[in-house]
Amino acid sequence: MEDEENKRFISVLSDYGFKIIFADENDTYSLRRALKALVQGEESIKEVQFLRNEFAATSQDSRGGLYDLICEDEKGNIFIVEMQLWPYKNYIQRAKFYAFQKFNTFVRKGKYKYKNLPQMYCIGFLAKNIYPNLDTYYHYATLKNQFGEELDHQTAHIIVEISKFDKAEEEIESDLEKLIFFMKHLDKYQGKEDLPIFMREDWLERMTEKLDRSAMTPDQIMNLEITLAQTAARREGFLAEREEMIQETLAEREEMIQETLVEMEEMKQEKLVEMEEMKQEKLREMEEELEQVRLQKEKEVDRQMEDKLAQVKRAVGEQMKEQVNEEIAKKLKASGVDYEVISKSTGLSIDEIQSL
């Protein structure tokens, strides 16, 4: 990475760069042009007045804060401008907090009708992305319903994700594009002669002069070094806080994983018990079915045996009856009884009687 001290121009994406071009109360021209570009306004902003950037907590348990920049134009419109150099996924929550704090000061005691509230713009320059799933780098948000129809525009949130801006200098057209290109790329140029034509427009040229190291006084250089040291310290603090948050997140995830593993083991054991119970129940059902089949089979065998026995009994009875009738017929024949009478008495035919 190129040493910052060797660069001709100070990066706008720094505390010093941001404040020197946007928070200069003696020269607000570039700020006014930038605000007009950011709000997409048609009319020029003629003047701005810087307001107190510190606000107190509204209750014992709430917190106060410090705006990077807050100002008011000649029409009473309020501009809150923030620069976020490092990743901060909850930026929009902080932006709402800042906006609500200022909004509370608009509402007066008594029978206030909430009419004629000043327009407020909460503007955030973000060096890093917070909406990676969205392609656009410029967001203008007001209160809308589920169909995208605007319900209120009194407070507008403007977010510029600078790292998403990828237009080449020959593609730059609007003042908004000029501003974002300037903020993202100024420190990459080594001299004014290298700057694109549009960056030589008066409002951008004024900002360039303020960020030109070669034109800085000793006092300005000292202020720059102090600011850079403070920024480095804050960055170290941010990185340490971020590392702590990462470690806390990892610890929480590890705890969640362990809890999940315990729950899964408990569920596994419960499932095994449930499966064993189902297995035993199934075995009982199969045993009952087998017993029913066995009993049914025994009944079937008993019935078949009874049928067979009955058949045998009938066969034996018929045979014995036939033998008895033959003995009777023999005796009657020997006694000289008429064959017709014998046939009627024994059921034998005349031929069967003659053959005896």
Secondary structure (DSSP) of 268-320: HHHHHHHHHHHHHHHHHHHHHHHHHHHHHHHHHHHHHHHHHHHHHHHHHHHHH
Place of tokens 């929009």: 92
Token reading at 156: 């507008």
pLDDT of residue 320: 74
DSSP state of 64: -
> How many Å apart are CA 81 and CA 69, to the nearest integer?
5
DSSP H helices, 40-160, are: 91-104
Report the first-to-last Cα separation within the chain, whole angstroms. Answer: 138
Token reading at 196: 């694109």
> How many Å apart are CA 20 and CA 14, to the nearest integer?
10
> How many Å apart are CA 238 and CA 327, to the nearest integer?
130
> How many Å apart are CA 164 and CA 131, to the nearest integer?
10
3-state SS assignment for residue 42? coil
Cβ-contact 70, 55 below 8 angstroms: no
pLDDT along the chain (356 residues), means of 10: 71 89 93 95 93 82 85 96 88 93 84 84 94 94 95 96 95 96 94 92 94 80 71 66 78 89 90 90 90 87 79 72 77 79 78 77
Cβ-contact 158, 122 below 8 angstroms: yes
Dihedral pair phi/psi, residue 139, rounded to 5°? -120, 130
The edge-to-edge listing of strands for the beta sheet with 48-50 is 48-50, 69-73, 78-84, 120-126, 150-161, 138-144
Count CB atoms within 10 A of the CB of residue 201: 13
pLDDT of residue 113: 74
Cβ-contact 78, 118 below 8 angstroms: yes
Q: How do beta strands 78-84 and 54-55 pair?
A: unpaired
Q: How do beta strands 78-84 and 120-126 pair?
A: parallel
pLDDT of residue 249: 81
Q: How do beta strands 69-73 and 65-66 pair?
A: unpaired
Domain ranges for the chain, please list them.
4-216, 304-354
Q: How do beta strands 120-126 and 150-161 pair?
A: parallel
pLDDT of residue 329: 75
> How many Å apart are CA 321 and CA 212, to the nearest integer?
142
pLDDT of residue 15: 87
pTM: 0.65
DSSP H helices, the chain, are: 15-22, 29-39, 91-104, 175-185, 202-210, 218-334, 339-346, 350-354
